[in-house]
Amino acid sequence: MNAENFQAGERLVNAAYVRQGSQGRRAHELRVRALLEQGKCPEAGWDESTIELFLHELAIMDSNNFLGNCGVGEREGRVASELVARRHYRLIHGIGRSGDISAVQPKAAGSSLLNKLTNSVVLDIIKLAGVKTTSSCFVVPMATGMSLTLCFLTLRHQRPKARYIIWPRIDQKSCFKSMITAGFEPVVIENVLEGDELRTDLQAVEAKILDLGADNILCVHSTTSCFAPRVPDRLEELAEICMKYDIPHIVNNAYGVQSSKCMHLIQQGARRGRIDAFVQSLDKNFMVPVGGAIIAGFSDSFIQEISKMYPGRASASPSLDALITLLSLGTKGYHQLLRERKEMFSYLSNEVKKLAESYNERLLDTPHNPISLAMSLKELDEQNPEAVTQLGSMLFTRQVSGARVVSLGILQTVSGYTFKGFMAHTDKYQCSYLNAASAIGMKKEDVDMFLKRLDKCLKALRKGKDQKDSPMLNIDIDSDMEKCNIEGDIQH
């Protein structure tokens, strides 16, 4: 309501009460004004009523919600289902125009404002999370792999001769496919073993550049967040090599925003050498549904060039989810989540270490990996080759998700390229192992329940060995599993 409406209300309700009501509204509006003026994530999170008020105001700025609108075009933001309209707060026009995902849509001032604000708030968070010199970024309604593809396709125009992408090996299919889909040939650089850690082979990278010729290389494609025992790439040195040979550098920072170490590596890389863009997942870092990524960088013109490569309009949903989430958390809430994640990582490490030792196994020593850890499975390797895979399926049926059992010697072909020892980031690692990660939002109860179930599985496998029986037959069903009768459900 505006001032005129409040005044009209005074005919019906005591003017003093109406005044108080209008002051109540003003408090919400002051928050909205600060957001519009500064474009920054508020420190304290907003409550739902402010967020909804704001979203409704944005929506009625779009032509599909004009009371007198008569649409005679082919895209008028009509929605058949009222449920769908509500699911999107009646923001139906999406973002961008046919030529540019960041362009303003004249029919939809509210959606355009939403898009600009989201990018601005997200930039603020990226800086606060550690990459202080980031100059611009934008949200794309595609997951990380496709967003990397968009970056590679943008570079193609700058380097028409280039066919190759130098890629320190990380065994994750979507980052490999992001290069194939863009039409380039990945040049896999095997990692080197240092202690238990798998690290970037800088000499091999440089040798490959000299061998192929800098002009034939589209870019170096490095990775921060990854499964242990691989650790984040040596970004600083890679960025220096890229600067030396004048080769672009794209960083896959899939779930790295949640780790100050990963963000610090990117900042240092950009300070000391060359990083053109870094790409991160929205769902993995901000606890929103899958569907969006952030493309960020240090040159406004390059980031703008990428956003102009996007053909056509795009869904506003990932932007809307990100904005709602950041407004409701505030910087305080997000920092709190990051702190808790870090504490949970220490807790998880300590507890896995204890459990590992009680089974004559080891927590692998991977101090450079801030999110993922690994526990050796040497005993199972010695027992029989199936025991390791069996542990994987045992954990799965016990509803442990995200734990990843890696057995030795898996051959996997991805887009015609065969990887030896797939999943382990190297042809032959020293032993099989189990991964677990402490990602944003993880709770102590998750860790405790995981360890309890893992302990039971390992015990059962050991007992199975002693009795030379199928260990599957000797499993005591977890007491909390019995309660929800999962095993029963699966068998029926």
> Binding site membership for substrate: which residues?
97-98, 105, 313
Q: Which residue's CB is nearer to ligand PLP, number 175 or number 235?
A: 175
Spatial separation of the C-alpha atoms in residues 410 and 407, rounded to whole Å: 7
Does position 303 interact with ligand PLP (CB under 6 A)? The reply is no
Chain positions 23 to 82 lying near ligand PLP, rule: CB under 6 A, are none
Instruction: Indicate left, alpha or beta for 133 from its phi (over 0: left) and psi (-120 to 50: alpha).
Output: alpha
Does position 458 interact with ligand PLP (CB under 6 A)? The reply is no
* Beta carbon of residue 252, minimum distance to ligand PLP (angstroms, whole number): 5
Q: Which residue's CB is nearer to ligand PLP, number 179 or number 324?
A: 179
**Residue 479 backbone phi and psi in degrees, to 5:** -60, -40
Does position 175 interact with ligand PLP (CB under 6 A)? The reply is yes
CA–CA distance from 262 to each of 68, 224, 235, 254, 266 (Å)? 51, 6, 9, 10, 7
Residues 6+ apart with CB under 8 A from 426: 169, 190, 191, 193, 198
Q: What residues form the annotated binding site for pyridoxal 5'-phosphate? A: 75
How many residues make contact with ligand PLP (CB under 6 A)? Answer: 14
The number of C-alpha atoms within 13 Å of 100 and in the hemisphere containing its C-beta is 13
Residue 134 burial (CB count, 10 A): 23
Q: Which two tokens stand for residue 491?
A: 């068998």
Cα angle 334, 337, 341 (rounded to 5 degrees) comes to 145
CB 460 within 8 A of CB 475: yes
* Beta carbon of residue 69, minimum distance to ligand PLP (angstroms, whole number): 37
Stretch that binds ligand PLP, among 116-124, 167-175, 186-194, 428-436 (CB under 6 A): 167-175
- Classify 294 as helix, strand or coil: strand
Q: Which two tokens stand for residue 184?
A: 């380039």
Q: What residues form the annotated binding site for tRNA? A: 271, 398, 463
Does position 172 interact with ligand PLP (CB under 6 A)? The reply is yes
Amino acid 82 reads E
Chain positions 116 to 145 lying near ligand PLP, rule: CB under 6 A, are 143-145
Q: What residues form the annotated binding site? A: 75, 97-98, 105, 271, 313, 398, 463
* Beta carbon of residue 30, minimum distance to ligand PLP (angstroms, whole number): 37
Among 254, 316, 337, 434, binds ligand PLP (CB under 6 A): 254
* Beta carbon of residue 397, minimum distance to ligand PLP (angstroms, whole number): 24
Binding mask 267-286 for ligand PLP (x = CB under 6 A): --------------x-----
Q: Which residue's CB is nearer to ligand PLP, number 112 or number 285?
A: 285
Does position 200 interact with ligand PLP (CB under 6 A)? The reply is no
Q: Which residue's CB is nearer to ligand PLP, number 99 or number 402?
A: 402
Among 255, 310, 359, 419, binds ligand PLP (CB under 6 A): 255
Amino acid 185 reads E
Q: Which residue's CB is nearer to ligand PLP, number 325 or number 331?
A: 325
Pairing of strands 185-189, 192-194: unpaired
Spatial separation of the C-alpha atoms in residues 182 and 164, rounded to whole Å: 11
Residue 32 burial (CB count, 10 A): 17
* Beta carbon of residue 174, minimum distance to ligand PLP (angstroms, whole number): 4
Binding mask 210-249 for ligand PLP (x = CB under 6 A): -------------x-xx-----------------------
- Computed over its alpha carbons, how large is the radius of gyration of the chain? 26
- Classify 185 as helix, strand or coil: strand
**Interface residue list for ligand PLP (CB under 6 A):** 143-145, 170, 172, 174-175, 223, 225-226, 252, 254-255, 281
